Chains A and B, each alone.
Chain A
Amino acid sequence: MKQAALLFVLCKYILRADDGIPEVFETVANLPDVPNTGDIHCYNENIGLQNLDAFVLPTMRNRIFIVNFTCFVLSLKIENTWGVLLKKDRNVARFEGSAGYRIIDEWMQRVSRRPFHFQKETWKQFENGRSGLVIAPTGFGKTFSVFLALVIHYLNHPGAYGPGLKLLWVTPLRSLAKDLGRAMKTALEEIGLDWEVGVRNGDTPAAERQRQKKKMPEVMIITPESLHLLFAQKNNTALFTSLQCIAVDEWHELLGSKRGVLTELAIARLKGVAPGLRVWGISATIGNVDEALEALLPGTSGSRVKIQAKEQKKTSILSIIPDHIGELPWAGHLGTRLAARLLPVIEKSNTTLIFTNTRGQSELWYQVLLSAAPDLAGQLALHHGSVDAELRAWIEDRLHTGQLKVVICTSSLDLGVDFKPVDTVIQIGSPKGVARFLQRAGRSGHSPFETSRIYFLPTHSLELVEAAALKEAAREKIIEDRVPLVFTFDVLVQYLVTLAVGEGFREKELFEEVKQTYCFRELAPEEWQWLLRFVTRGGEVLHAYDEFQKVVVEEGVYRVKSRKIAMMHRMNLGVIVSDPMLKVKYLSGGYIGMVEEYFVARLLPGDTFGLAGKVVEFVMIKDMTVLVRHSKAKRAITPSWMGGRLPLSSNLSALLRHKYTDALNPGTRDRELKALYPLFVQQQQVSHVPREDEFLIELIETKDGHHIYMYPFEGRLVHEVMAALVAYRFSRIQPITFSMAMNDYGFELLSDQPLKFTREQLDTVFSTENLTADISKSINAAEMAGRKFRDISVIAGLVMRNYAGQLKNNKNLQSSSGLIFRIFEQYDPENLLLRQAFDEVFYQQLEEPRLMAALQRILRSKIVIIRAAAFTPLSFPIKVDSLRQNLSSEELDTQIRRMQEEAGYKSKGKNAGNR
């Protein structure tokens, strides 16, 4: 009897351990008549059933640490058989005996699959009514974890389901929807369920939308924007009443963006419409999994579950290292010098994806590879955001069928369906972040237990340190956070109008609902009232004849009455704001791709430029289309598309500093650092290689003036602000003006007069006191906020997006975000959208918290000041970066070579000035 009672107690803990809450418990010690731990067995899938003594040290005998075991059983002497085990975890046994599970299990066996543990776990938790987050690497059947969970639940409880929509599948990518739908449909057919799987996004034809509205499919794959568009329809609540689950795929992708906020708002709304709704997120591994879970399911820590797959993707990272380090330039960003070394890699691979960081770089590489290996013609393709959508689809099809040998791409192929033939990935230049690098690696060898293979090709020598850092990050699983956004008022303004266009809302109920989201959980009543005034009265200033019209309140319900406003709102809904793009077309017909309007604005007829691997000559702009003709020119300017330069993530920069510590230690096992050794020796001879706990300042005098180089290794964006801040604070010590340059490793201050400073003064320069005020004084925060306001004004519906042609008849409503920003600043300074613009500058762009942490770290470091005779290997790339702005690439190449030689000859010795 006693043993039976103990068994029962343990079973309770079994369940708790099962929930993924590792905790120490002392049951055995606290129970009466403690048995010997030898009587206790534990079980998990890997070890099977084992005597607990094997895992517990004698001293810990009475304190059992449960971490990873599915199940603990007390092996009873009387019925000491394995058969007892199943009986012990009655819940598991009951679930696995259920009709739904058996059907799915049989189906999986038929298609030769075995469920992974995390899938089974998801199914079970779903059956128990739980919501949660599944974290698993790509290629391991994340989709089937949540999708089949619903199917099993349905098979077990068909009576609980009404007709119509049962599962909403939110995905950030349109391109994924079709393949995902096909996979679900196939599974359903094989299982024998007569369900419809619908897709709804910007590409869905109107007739299909109408059909869906009349009869919703059982499963709908949708983007966050399209879901909000459904909310903007009359009687949309009726569409969701049978909804059982909303699944958010690629939650890590949505999380840090305003699309994530759209998703949060949609979840909060649907929870109110469909009681008992389960919310499941699916995510790749990120640094802040717990925060991701909190953002998905805020304030439900007691009942939500986190299911982390134990399966791991194997990745092999290989750097392409030249035989002699001199082959690699000290600075540069194209990397084309090592092109020949890629050919054998391509040769021995089935299909290779080559990732570059910018569209311009990909265009260039296309030309370089084609001239290095002309026989690749026809098997080599170029894929980036500006390539015509049809052509991109064509390329993707040929990737699936293995008809292409090499595809050069940008982040355009970071996400999306997997291409089975791809077995090799090449990354050109720093990927700037661990997560992005691993994501790209995962595009090769994507099926479970296959190894992903990625080659890293450095564009300049110091990037090899980054390769070493990336390897370590991959090994140690140091992956970046995706920080969820908060207080994005622009999205909320849009959402209020969306609901008002749809069924209308009541303000008190909606306030409670909105406050359930992670983004707005701390929304103050005053802010809420301001937002309501903003959409109903257009803000604070009123005059007698005001005819502001957007949302009106009738009997407590907020609605949009004007059809015109409703139509404009639907057309402008969404949070992705891109630069206006123009189509590029041959005079003789045939689209090539898209370029940004501002790039075309600088072109003169006869100018040539490269796009989608072709060299074309600009003729004219007609009807929002750029007309070009084929050009025979060998060289052409490449459009420098916006947003090309990514900043270094803080994870990667921390690792990078760490790697510099190892740089002079030739015993390291990093091939990259070994290859770089001669360069570091040179850096040490002419200056110093900073260790992790040091902060290096180099003072160099040239005919240009007095250079100060500082190396915080915090990424370009932080350096931009820090350079301005340091310059401002120096100028308070001594009147002086600087010009500035920076890269991901450090920054330069250049002045025509020497700067003298003491250690105490340096402390004030790097001080964290008055930081915000000093930043505001040193940079033009208003101008930066104005730029941020561009997106905000479009999302909040203040500036109409100019769809080619569609708004032509509405010229009278044309304005610019800059104009509205100015008007707000002058006449409505308390505007929350204005405040948001400044917040975005300080927290997202300037990353003030990161800057603060960096300054604190610098203050703690040992500051090493070196007077160098010429540019050093570290300072050189920064110098080159500052030149790049004014020179064509050819001139730049020549100049770099000359400077590199000069630096090599001149710098014999150094004046160390350690203080």
Chain B
Amino acid sequence: MPGTDKITIFYDAMPLVLSAGRAVYWPEKKMLILSDLHLGKTGYFRAHGIPVSSAVLTDDLRRLGHLIHEFKPEQVLVAGDMFHHRFNNDVHLFQDWRQSYKELSFLLVPGNHDRHMDIDYAGIQVTVTPETYGLGEIHFVHEMQAEQAGRFTISGHLHPGYRISGKAKQSLCLPCFIRGRHHLILPAFSQFTGLYTGASAGHTCYVISENKLFEF
């Protein structure tokens, strides 16, 4: 199964498991953390006449299912941009999928896409937190402003990517985790997202290639 490669990083001896499945597992709280799910993005494109297969969405949800199966978390936290834009029928797909994971609690730290959305979060059993959400030593926020010492910030928003350049002008751009001293930026969970390569300089990057993780 893709996405099984794992690397454990530590913040003050607290372990966090980075998965090539574009998510982090926090053993202490039995929490699976991911960001930028952009549910409904394919639907939004399709509603505007751009034929992006909805299989992308079902595939994203299936991958999430695999991760839940693997780590058996009690809660899933989405660090923002869970839904792409307004309410659309893709929400129903999520609802159907949610039925299979009734026991699991879902937390959403709202991001730029999640604001002003007329989604009945309670109806789909998703708890919306304040825009900055602290739990133990970790602060969750969608878009990190500046690193703060004394606490560990996990954020999303950037869709970080890492560019690997080879000979003959060939280059490859892959999604990655960016690890700073006091923060971690998550890759976008959805496959249907672009990559931003401007943030990787000067930090440790964990680059995801298929089902492997590489440290740069």
- A residues with a Cβ closer than 8 A to B are 497, 534, 537-550, 560, 562, 564-565, 568-569, 739-740, 780, 783, 797-799, 812-816, 819-820, 822-824, 826-828
Q: What are the residues of chain A within 8 A of B170 when measuring CB–CB?
A: 780, 783
CB of B55 within 8 A of CB of A565, answer: no
Q: Is the C-beta of B71 less than 8 angstroms from some C-beta in chain A?
A: no
Q: Which of A542, A565, A823, A828 contacts B48 (CB 8 A)?
A: A565
Q: Knowing A542-B54, A812-B84, A816-B194 touch, does A564 contact B48 (C-beta < 8 A)?
A: yes
CB of A547 within 8 A of CB of B47, answer: yes
Interface residues on B, range: 20 to 34
CB of A827 within 8 A of CB of B168, answer: no
CB of A823 within 8 A of CB of B52, answer: yes
Q: What would 14 more interface pairs be, CB under 8 Å, given A547-B89, A814-B194?
A: A541-B54, A542-B54, A543-B93, A544-B92, A548-B46, A550-B49, A564-B48, A797-B50, A798-B51, A813-B45, A815-B50, A823-B191, A824-B53, A827-B53
Q: Which of B43, B55, B56, B194 contacts A547 (CB 8 A)?
A: B43
Query: What are 30 residue pairs bridging A and B, where the CB atoms are less than 8 Å apart in the complex?
Result: A534-B51, A538-B46, A538-B49, A538-B53, A541-B55, A542-B54, A545-B90, A545-B92, A546-B43, A546-B54, A548-B51, A549-B46, A560-B49, A562-B49, A564-B48, A569-B49, A739-B168, A797-B50, A812-B44, A813-B48, A813-B50, A815-B50, A815-B192, A819-B192, A820-B52, A823-B191, A826-B191, A827-B53, A827-B55, A828-B53
CB of A819 within 8 A of CB of B49, answer: no
CB of A827 within 8 A of CB of B51, answer: no
Number of A-B pairs, beta carbon distance below 8 Å? 95
CB of B192 within 8 A of CB of A813, answer: no
Interface 1/0 per residue, B63-88 and A, CB below 8 Å: 00000000000000000000011001
Residue of B43, B50, B56, B92 ringed by the most chain A CB atoms within 10 A: B50
Q: Is the C-beta of B58 less than 8 angstroms from some C-beta in chain A?
A: yes
Closest to B41 in A: A812
- B residues with a Cβ closer than 8 A to A are 41, 43-56, 58-59, 84-85, 88-90, 92-93, 113, 167-168, 170, 191-194
Kindly state the separation between the CA atoms of A780 and B171 in the bound complex, as whole angstroms: 11
Kindly state the separation between the CA atoms of A354 and B89 in the bound complex, as whole angstroms: 60
Kindly state the separation between the CA atoms of A548 and B53 in the bound complex, as whole angstroms: 10
CB of A545 within 8 A of CB of B49, answer: no
Closest to A816 in B: B194
Q: What are the residues of chain A within 8 A of B46 when measuring CB–CB?
A: 538, 546-549
CB of A813 within 8 A of CB of B168, answer: no
CB distance from B92 to the nearest CB of A (A): 5
CB distance from B81 to the nearest CB of A (A): 11
Q: Which of B51, B84, B88 contacts A538 (CB 8 A)?
A: B51
Kindly state the separation between the CA atoms of A820 and B92 in the bound complex, as whole angstroms: 24
Q: What are the residues of chain B within 8 A of A812 when measuring CB–CB?
A: 41, 44, 84-85, 113
CB distance from A542 to the nearest CB of B (A): 7
Kindly state the separation between the CA atoms of A110 and B62 in the bound complex, as whole angstroms: 81
CB distance from B24 to the nearest CB of A (A): 24
Closest to A799 in B: B50
Closest to B171 in A: A783
Kindly state the separation between the CA atoms of A497 and B50 in the bound complex, as whole angstroms: 12
CB of B93 within 8 A of CB of A545, answer: yes
CB of A545 within 8 A of CB of B48, answer: no
CB of B50 within 8 A of CB of A543, answer: no
Q: What are the residues of chain A within 8 A of B192 when measuring CB–CB?
A: 815, 819, 823
Q: What are the residues of chain B within 8 A of A534 when measuring CB–CB?
A: 51
Kindly state the separation between the CA atoms of A544 and B51 in the bound complex, as whole angstroms: 16
CB distance from A817 to the nearest CB of B (A): 11
Closest to B168 in A: A740
Kindly state the separation between the CA atoms of A565 and B49 in the bound complex, as whole angstroms: 7
Q: Which of B49, B58, B84, B93 contacts A549 (CB 8 A)?
A: B49
Q: What are the residues of chain A within 8 A of B43 when measuring CB–CB?
A: 545-547
Kindly state the separation between the CA atoms of A286 and B147 in the bound complex, as whole angstroms: 65
Closest to B90 in A: A545
Kindly state the separation between the CA atoms of A543 and B43 in the bound complex, as whole angstroms: 10
Closest to B193 in A: A819
Residue of B41, B44, B45 ringed by the most chain A CB atoms within 10 A: B45
CB of B44 within 8 A of CB of A819, answer: no
